[in-house]
Amino acid sequence: MKVETIELPKKYHGAVEHWRRHNFKDYELLMDDWEKYFPTDEKFCLCAKMEVGTPDVIQIGEQKGEKKRIKPDELTENQAMHLLAIIKAQASTEFGSIQQHSGTLDRAMDDQDRAWVMRVMAEELRHGYQMLHLLLSEDWSHVSGGITGEQMVEEILSMTTGSHVLDSFNLDYDSFVDNVTFAAIIDRVGKYQLTMQKVCAYKPMADSMPPMLREEAFHLAAGVIPMRRWAQKAAQGDPLISMHMMQDSLNKWVPRGLEMFGDECGGHTNLKYGFKDLSNRAAVEQYYVAITKMTRDIYARFLRARFPDYSPEKIETTLRELESTRGTHHGVAFADLLRVPDKRFFRRKGEHAFLMVGIDGETFEDAEQYLHYLAKHLNDGYIASRDMRNYADCLRKVAAGEMTRDQAVKAMPKLKRVGGSCPCSRSVRWVMEEANGEQQTVAVRNH
């Protein structure tokens, strides 16, 4: 394993540092405490890391067996446009997750959990930096509509929660439970995306993936390990954490994680171009199995903490009994255990968009009944959000026959913040983007 480290040109490196000072105010604290929490790990470096020695030959797609491309103009125009969109979306997600985490970082119940999330934020910053390197190290102007690398960087660094490319990065956190669940669920999507892109026919993209994947493993741990501890505390009667709180957070994030893979019927262009090695549906199936296994492990730990005298075999028998009967076992009910919602639950995109399906696969015919159901299975902070209000409005129109499901996917308004993300900017304008692309100002906040 050999890695080349690269620093962006001074003005761009400085722009990322400026962004970091305003969006990640605890960065210096993390650096000061690094040896305390991560004594055996190399200290964080804000740089691009490129793996040396990755395959030189295209591994999948129509050009399989040919030499990998190293410049955008060696790709076809369609390939270059498609890959540019992937890189920009990836950059947006990395910076977006930092903004989400920062809102509830100080609410962590445990200093170690807080430090772990700060490390995740630092590594997401590096991943975003890595994508900026891909945008700036070569000329993409022939497929960017004349937009320069500098303009693309400015656009990405101006995005805030509400204006990022993917919906998962436009949802505010309601508590530190979201920080942890997001790492376990949404960062796992990142792991799958990066793994799929290791084969990328554009070699600089492929070279970027292994260093990012090694860091992504820690991000998953920053979610799963606290959830395991919380399950054990909940089993022991800790009043400050419950399986219900964790389940509500899973119900919020799992549907968004599934949607991050794209429509289940798609992804074949990435296969054809040699950018990824799985279709969307295949990736979703693998991901769903992985999060189901993760969740089952967590509630097995809940049972072990509740029944410390049980053997591993007895724990497994108890799990199967609860899953098959959906009853109770010495005071523990099936409803007390974590479970991954049905793949169709609360979906807004893809082939299951705006179907009224419950966590366990039950179906609903009435929109109001389904919205009442969601209100019982999502946390109050999220239920009271504009995001949920937008979803409810579209769902009611679909149920009334005023809108098709496809139209609802396209017409559901998105809340966007227009204006610079830096607090130096004078104001931020909230707008509603309508189906026809027009924008309506709904609020202005002055700084």
List, for residues 225-266, the tens digit of each pLDDT value. Answer: 999 999 999 999 999 999 999 999 999 999 999 999 989 999
Band of residue 165 on the pLDDT scale cut at 50, 70, 90 = low
Residue 422 clears pLDDT 70, i.e. is over it:
no
- Cα-Cα-Cα-Cα torsion 359, 361, 363, 368, nearest 10 degrees, comes to 10
pLDDT digits (tens, 9 = 90+) for 66-78: 999 999 999 999 9
Classify residue 335 by its DSSP letter. G
Residue burial 315-325, b: 16+ Cβ < 10 Å; e: rest? beebbeebeee
Return the closest-CA partner of residue 405 out of 444, 446, 367, 360: 367
Mean pLDDT of the chain: 90
Q: Rounded to an integer, what distance in angstroms lies between the CA atom of residue 394 and that of residue 409?
A: 9
Band of residue 163 on the pLDDT scale cut at 50, 70, 90 = low
Q: Rounded to an integer, what distance in angstroms lies between the CA atom of residue 180 and that of residue 248?
A: 13
Pairing of strands 48-52, 328-329: unpaired
Domains of the chain listed by start with CATH number: 2-300 (1.10.620.20), 350-411 (no CATH), 413-447 (no CATH)
Burial class for 128, CB neighbours closer than 10 Å (0-12, 13-18, 19+): buried
Residue 436 clears pLDDT 70, i.e. is over it:
no
Residue 42 clears pLDDT 80, i.e. is over it:
yes
Total H helices, total E strands in the chain: 15, 7
Residue 371 clears pLDDT 80, i.e. is over it:
yes
Q: Rounded to an integer, what distance in angstroms lies between the CA atom of residue 153 and that of residue 88?
A: 9
Q: Average of pLDDT values for 350-378?
A: 97
**HSE-up (13 A, CA, CB side) for residue 219:** 27
Burial class for 424, CB neighbours closer than 10 Å (0-12, 13-18, 19+): exposed
Q: Rounded to an integer, what distance in angstroms lies between the CA atom of residue 157 and that of residue 141?
A: 19
Q: Rounded to an integer, what distance in angstroms lies between the CA atom of residue 177 and that of residue 381?
A: 12
Give the SS3 label for residue 16.
helix
Q: Which helix (H) or strand (E) holds 329?
A: strand 328-329
Written as one letter, the residue type at 247 is Q
Residue 62 clears pLDDT 80, i.e. is over it:
yes
Residue 95 clears pLDDT 80, i.e. is over it:
yes
Q: Rounded to an integer, what distance in angstroms lies between the CA atom of residue 129 and that of residue 392?
A: 37
